[in-house]
A and B are shown apart, each in its own frame.
Chain A
Amino acid sequence: DVQLLESGGGLVQPGGSLRLSCIASGFTFSSSIMGWARQAPGKGLGWVSVISVDGRSPYYADSVKGRFTISRDNSKDTLYLQMNSLKAEDTAVYYCVKEQPASGWSFDYWGQGALVTVSS
């Protein structure tokens, strides 16, 4: 079974940093486009970042460009999201997602999410 297990969430002060990790299993991670989506409490879904199989030319939402960095380690089946200069509006549940192959960036598996709270 496909599993995506996020970790690294928590409480951080504004301006601080946090790194999320997502360990994948049950599929060929190195052949899969991966990404991060988020959902603020009581709000709708939003995209954060997507990374290709080789890690080149990642996609970032405008709201996180220059502050967040997505990366992957195909030898460890792990996806990362380095979040710097965090703001209160970054408070959300962050989901690790896997693309359905050749679907035009539709995502068929979602982790259970990691809560990030930015507050003083």
Chain B
Amino acid sequence: VLTQSPGTLSLSPGERATLSCRASQSVSNNYLTWYQQKPGQAPRLLIYGASSRASGIPDRFSGSGSGTDFTLTITRLEPEDSAVYYCQQYGGGRLTFGGGTRVEIK
């Protein structure tokens, strides 16, 4: 099970967002992934392997963590960062998503 917190984050442009993803068991090989999904769109890969940025992702997005605790940090928030962010793990022979964190830009 992956638990994401907070459920919703409301911040102003230029602020820093810190999103948490906690796994009930240690994530194998740090196979922890982050996706961004905007309304009406398919998800977009942001971070894989807990900390590697996907192609074309701005360096404002960074991932960290290991074991059971992982973090997605978005520095210098921009209006287009308004979205739902999901973490995903592959472990124990199962692929699972977290419940998502909604980031709202004031």
B residues with CB within 8 A of A: 28-31, 33, 35, 37, 42-45, 48-49, 52, 54-55, 84, 86, 88, 90, 93-100
Please tell me which one of the listed residues A37, A105, A108 contacts residue B54 in the complex, with CB atoms under 8 A apart.
A108
CB neighbours of A46 from chain B (8 A): 97
A residues with CB within 8 A of B: 37, 44-47, 50, 59, 61, 95, 100, 103-108, 110-113
Contact A61 B95 (CB under 8 A): yes
CB neighbours of A107 from chain B (8 A): 33, 45
Contact A47 B97 (CB under 8 A): yes
Please tell me which one of the listed residues B42, B49, B55, B95 contacts residue A47 in the complex, with CB atoms under 8 A apart.
B95
Nearest CB of chain B from residue A97's CB, rounded to whole Å: 9
10 A-B contacts, Cβ less than 8 Å apart? A44-B86, A44-B97, A45-B43, A45-B97, A45-B100, A47-B95, A47-B97, A95-B42, A104-B31, A105-B33
Nearest CB of chain B from residue A57's CB, rounded to whole Å: 11
